[in-house]
Structure formats: C-alpha cells, structure tokens
Chains A and B, each alone.
Chain A
C-alpha cells in the first residue's frame, strides 16, 4: 500500500516536473524520438556533446528564408563538423503544414542539401510541447552537461526576406562559439520568430 502510494507520488512529481517548461541554466528535458530513418534518439544519448534542436516546417516562409538562402544547411554542416549534434524536429500534426512522412523528409533533406545529424518526426507534438516550441524555426542549444544554454530565434532579423540573412546576428552560432570556449552565453534567450508550430488540435 505504502509502496503504491509512494509510486503514485513519484509519478505525480514526475508529471509535474515534465509539465514545467524548459529554463535556461536548467537541465534540458530528456526526450525520446524516432528519426526519418527509423532510428531512436534520446537527448541523454548525447550527453558530452553540444546539441542543437531546430524546429522545422518546410512550408513556413520563415523556414524557407533559411533554407532557400542555404543558410540553415550551411550552419548544419559547419557545426556538425565541429562535433555538434544537430536535430531537426518536425512537430506538425498529420494534415497540417509541414507534416512529412519519413520518406518525404529524406527526399527533402537530399533535395535541400540539408545536413542535420537526424530529422526527428514528432507528429504527436510530444517533444514540441515538452520544450514549449512555439515557432518554426525555434532553436534550442544544449551544452555537453545537458543544460539548456539558448532558447529562441535563429537570428536577430525577424523577417521572411532572404536579403536579411547576410547581415543578421546568428544567435545559435554565437551561443555555440561562446560556450565552446567556456564563456557565458551573452544572449541566452530571445523571442523566437516564425510561423506557429502546427500542433494537433
């Protein structure tokens, strides 16, 4: 009886903790997801590496700005070459903009020349809700210790104009650059800009 009660209490606590959104300086919540090649991923698999989470919807004009310009692909290549784990996450529900099957995502990645470590399909929105992902793109950076060090926009130009890429300050690159040399991230939080994540109703 007591064991069951304690078990329920622990479960309730776990649920409560899971309901808290992510916070800078705190442990990023561990998630489980399956990628477009049917491989399973947990955040805890990557303890010891920097991890970037990139919320994605291939139809959103703010995402198109980053991909049509080649900017996102360039960032993916640059940072994965430095040992960063880059996970594209798609939380669009079936029938909504951005939803893709595994095959469609693989075709897309090839066509766009994208280079994430993996593209995680999250059609139930479980991972999106766990992180409080609001827009596409919405970027999170997690350090090798599993702590969230950046949450927000990809850069400081909240527009759909490709011309705004070259002059933009990229917050993801800034956070990774600073953290990799042991500096405190100067801008850990910004308002993410983009289309709303197309969660299931």
Chain B
C-alpha cells in the first residue's frame, strides 16, 4: 500500500512546485485588465542573424472599448512601447494599421476596436552569436469606452536565434495585418493640396474615377476631425474639401495622412500644399 502512494505524492509535489515557479515568474508574454488583453507575439519561430523579423503587440478588447491610433484625434493617447533588447538587436517603429473613425457626440478620435496587431520590425545583426534572445516591451496603453483606463503591460518574449525559422501559429495574423497596412500611392497616382480660407482642397489623381474617399490626418491641429469632408468624384480621381482646424496658426508645407477609399484600401499620402488660393470653394 505504502509503495503505491509514494509516486503519486512525488508527482503531486512536482506539479505543485512547478506551479509555484510559474506563478512567481515575472516573465509574461501577455497581460491587461478586464477590457484589454495584450500579448507579445512573433511572426517566426526564431530570430535570424542578418535578418529582420516581425514581432507584434496583439491587443484584444471587449465590446465597445477602443485604443488609439498614432494621431488619436480629439482625445485619447496611442499606446507607447519602450523596448529593452540585447545588444546587436534593434527594434523599429510600430506599423499602424488603418484606424477607424470613432465619433462620440462632436468629438472624433481615431483608433481600433475588437482586436488589432501592432507590428514592429526587429533587426538582428549578422554577427549576433547568442543562441536565444529575450525581447522586453513596456507598453503604456489607454483603453476607453465612456471612461478611460490607463495601464502598463510589461511583456517578455524569448526566441531562439538561428539561421532558419518557421512560421508560427500567429503567422496568418501577421500576413493579414501586413496586407491591410496603408500602402504607398501607386505609381502614376498623385495627391496635391491647395488651400482656401477655411478648407484644404485635396486633389487625388488616380488615372480613374474614385467614387468615395476620406482623409485621416497624421498630425493634430491641421484639419478639423469633426468636419464633414465634401467629396467630388472626378473622371481621373477625386477631390476632397477638408475643413481646416481652428487651431491651425501658420501654413503647412504638406498635408500628411491616410487616404481611405470606399473599398477600405488606404494609402499613405503627403500632399504638398500649394499657396495658390482657389477663387471659389467647392
């Protein structure tokens, strides 16, 4: 009888100790609160010397809650990441997917609901010799619905470093995210802006008629977020009348932001603003 009990006790003890160890461990790849869950994930199973790999912050939000784009709009703040990585590894900037326009009364912000993957390129020096690397991200986030809750998630991801790597379970998500990032303007397209007293006029030449488009500003204090943008489809593109911000005090050289078409495809644009005044506002 005694000999049959002992293995069970030992196994139970081992499991108990393992649990204790994992509970005490400070390394975590995911954290959050009751409305936001963020995890640090990788596109590939390993980092490779001399190559750049995508890692990402995968945010999952409960219904109605949102986080913000790099230009949050009228209120709110985007998540900010501070990386601690080994020497020989460099983390890049967040690649921001096209945000949604979030309107609340007369205030308009730009951000994400449900879930979003914010990808970050990680470059490894070709002479990197360690067999594994731990990437640490301190993520300051703000999640809002009718109220706002700030938080910090301290996330770790340890990856092997080797000459080859395989896809991960997240690779499909990385691929979908990459495909949905704002694109460069296609060759042959152009975007230029002119200004009138109250508005910018953004002319997009696409070589074909565009039925629907909207402009999301990259910088604050340039255009009004709540102003309705007037559209004028043209045979070779589209013209948008975009109300200036009341806080715009001096001329700007370029109108930077996203041009989002009716089909959801978006383009990064940086339209030079000509000082030529238009005689008549559209």
Contact = CB atoms under 8 A, between A and B. Distances in A.
A188 interface: yes
A96 B74 contact: no
Contacts of B144: 195-196
Contacts of A119: none
A23 B246 contact: yes
Contacts of B76: 195-196
Interface string A54-86: 000001111000000000000000000000000
Contacts of A192: 75
Interface in A93-119: 96-97
The majority secondary structure among interface residues of chain B is loop
Contacts of A160: 142, 150
A172 B38 CA distance: 36
Q: Interface size bucket, B side?
A: 20 to 34
A193 B77 contact: yes
Contacts of A37: none
Interface in A131-170: 132, 134-135, 151-152, 158-161
Contacts of A191: 220-221
B37 to A, nearest CB: 19
Given A132-B246, A151-B247, A61 B148 contact: yes
A199 B105 contact: yes
Interface string A167-201: 00000000000000000000011111111111111
Interface string B246-264: 1101000000000000000
Nearest to A151: B247
Contacts of B109: 196
A23 to B, nearest CB: 6
A135 B106 CA distance: 12
B19 interface: no
Contacts of B150: 61, 160
A24 interface: yes
A41 interface: no
A108 to B, nearest CB: 17
Contacts of A59: 147
Interface residues of A, number: 35
Interface of A is mostly: loop
Contacts of B104: 196
B115 interface: no
A11 interface: no
Most B-side CB within 10 Å, residue of A196, A199, A201: A196
A62 B148 CA distance: 9
B106 A129 contact: yes
Interface in B132-173: 140, 142, 144, 146-150
B249 A201 contact: no
A60 B148 contact: yes
A61 B106 CA distance: 21
A178 to B, nearest CB: 16
A134 B146 contact: no
Contacts of A129: 106
B15 interface: no
A116 B61 CA distance: 38
B77 A96 contact: no
A199 B75 contact: no
A129 B226 CA distance: 13
Contacts of B74: 134-135, 196
Q: Most chain-A Cβ atoms within 10 A of its Cβ — which of B76, B77, B147?
A: B147
Contacts of A96: 146
A21 interface: yes
Given A21-B246, A160-B142, 16 more contacts: A24-B247, A60-B147, A129-B106, A135-B75, A159-B140, A160-B150, A189-B221, A189-B249, A193-B75, A193-B77, A194-B75, A195-B148, A196-B107, A197-B75, A199-B106, A201-B105
30 contacts: A23-B246, A24-B249, A59-B147, A60-B148, A61-B142, A61-B148, A61-B149, A96-B146, A129-B106, A134-B74, A134-B107, A159-B77, A160-B142, A160-B150, A189-B221, A189-B247, A189-B249, A191-B221, A193-B75, A193-B77, A195-B76, A195-B144, A195-B148, A196-B74, A196-B75, A196-B104, A196-B107, A197-B75, A199-B107, A201-B105
Going nearest first, the 6 A-B pairs with the smallest beta carbon separation are: A196-B75, A191-B220, A160-B150, A21-B246, A199-B105, A134-B74
